[in-house]
Amino acid sequence: MSIETIPDIVRHVYVHIPFCARICPYCAFYKDLLDRSQTDRFCEALVAELRMRAQDRHVVPSTIYFGGGTPTALTTAQLERVLGGFRETLDLAQLIEWTTEANPGSVSAGKATLLKNLGVTRISLGVQSWDEDLLRLLGRDHSPAHIRESFEILRRAGFGNINVDLMFGLPGQTLAQWRDTLEKTIALNPEHISAYCLTYEEDTDFFVRHARGEFRSDNDSDAEFFEMTMSILQDAGYSHYEISNYARPNFESAHNRAYWSGEDYLGIGPSAFSTLGQERTQNVCDYRGYADRVFRGESAIASREGLTSQMKRAERIALTLRTREGISADLVQDRQSQVREFLAMGLLQRRNGNFALTAKGKSLADSVAEALL
């Protein structure tokens, strides 16, 4: 049997670091204010959980993704402990991509060099905007100068694969401000750009302010921002390979691609999801309780959900429709009349035997996916 056909090998690992120096009012990810008295213990727990879970499964990652929260909120010594623990525990012979998220202003030259030396190949930098007023509205603790400085530090440390995260559709944001943010980002020449439309997530300050009517959301103007993004980034040589993601040739994120195509992944850390075979689990969303459990030798899993083939099919439709390659025709065999209608409306096109969104269809991706489920 070839190595690819052995089902129990897990090839993708996600690691959640929940600490942030400041809490952004739009963010719904599991995170907590950085408490330096807790971080050493937390780092030990991460490595301990990895060791436990790597006993049950054969984990030979081709991709690892450290997200958050803010992984770079950990000190250089703590990152060394955690990454070193991962290196000791896992067979990294097949690793092709190791991403770490970083916030501007949180990466010193020493930290960047350590990440590079320990095998991190890709950095995802949370820029969000280049506009000082919008950065303030977003509660960010960085300035445009911090963005430039962090980007240069990462380049000098030898990172040749950097993603920049941006957000559009922000309250009061103008198209001119968004154009300026895109142009300043392109001027840095990152290999990858993620551009997300702001979502008002439940349980955030922004959600409450939006519900009170303080912020207006407008689908038409979101579509204008989205179209501007596609046009400017494609003209600058970035390929639009997923609704929110643009990359220079050969710099698409292998980790995200695996996730979109429904591959199994193991999640380590508080709140992390894992999808392994027909089961999805989520770890407890409380980093202190998480560490307590792990140190008692107990599982950190708080909830489990069985995945039926119907659920897996629906997820694959929703996720692959958002990609450049589109949906494989056999996934929508029983939705032929709907597919024909979208082809006739110019929302879908045929691509290498698949159905992919057209430029017009991309603005309506969620509605198209819903109709195909």
Ligand X SMILES: C[S@@+](CC[C@H](N)C(=O)[O-])C[C@H]1O[C@@H](n2cnc3c(N)ncnc32)[C@H](O)[C@@H]1O
Is position 136 an interface residue for ligand SF4 (rule: CB under 6 A)? no
Closest approach of Cβ 332 to ligand X, in Å? 28
Closest approach of Cβ 174 to ligand SF4, in Å? 22
What is the strand order of the sheet 273-276 is part of? 273-276, 279-283, 301-306
Closest approach of Cβ 124 to ligand SF4, in Å? 11
| Partner in contact with 196, chosen from ligand SF4, ligand X, none, beta carbon below 5 to 8 Å by kind | ligand X
The Cα 103–Cα 352 span in angstroms is 39
The set of long-range contacts for 247-251, using a CB threshold of 8 Å and a minimum separation of 24, is 247/191, 247/192, 247/193, 248/191, 248/192, 251/161, 251/191, 251/192
Is position 168 an interface residue for ligand X (rule: CB under 6 A)? no
User: Binding string to ligand X for residues 66 to 85, with x set by CB under 6 A, is what?
Assistant: -xx-x---------------
Residue 92 has phi, psi (to 5 degrees) of -100, 15
Closest approach of Cβ 245 to ligand X, in Å? 11
Which of 11, 12, 16, 31 is in the footprint of ligand SF4 by CB under 6 A?
Answer: 31
User: Binding string to ligand X for residues 222 to 261, with x set by CB under 6 A, is what?
Assistant: ----------------------------------------
Residue 331 exposure: Cα atoms within 13 Å on the Cβ side: 25
Is position 29 an interface residue for ligand X (rule: CB under 6 A)? yes
Sign of the C-alpha dihedral computed for residues 22, 31, 122 and 191 taken in this order: negative
Is position 267 an interface residue for ligand X (rule: CB under 6 A)? no
Sign of the C-alpha dihedral computed for residues 290, 294, 296 and 302 taken in this order: positive
Instruction: Count the Cβ atoms, other than its own, within 10 Å of residue 92.
Output: 14
DSSP E strands: which ranges in 142-254? Answer: 162-168, 192-197, 239-242, 245-247
Near ligand SF4 in 57-76, by CB under 6 A: 68-70
Which of 14, 19, 26, 259 is in the footprint of ligand X by CB under 6 A?
Answer: 26
| Contacting residues toward ligand X, per CB under 6 A | 26-27, 29, 67-68, 70, 101, 103, 126, 128, 165, 167, 196, 198-199, 201
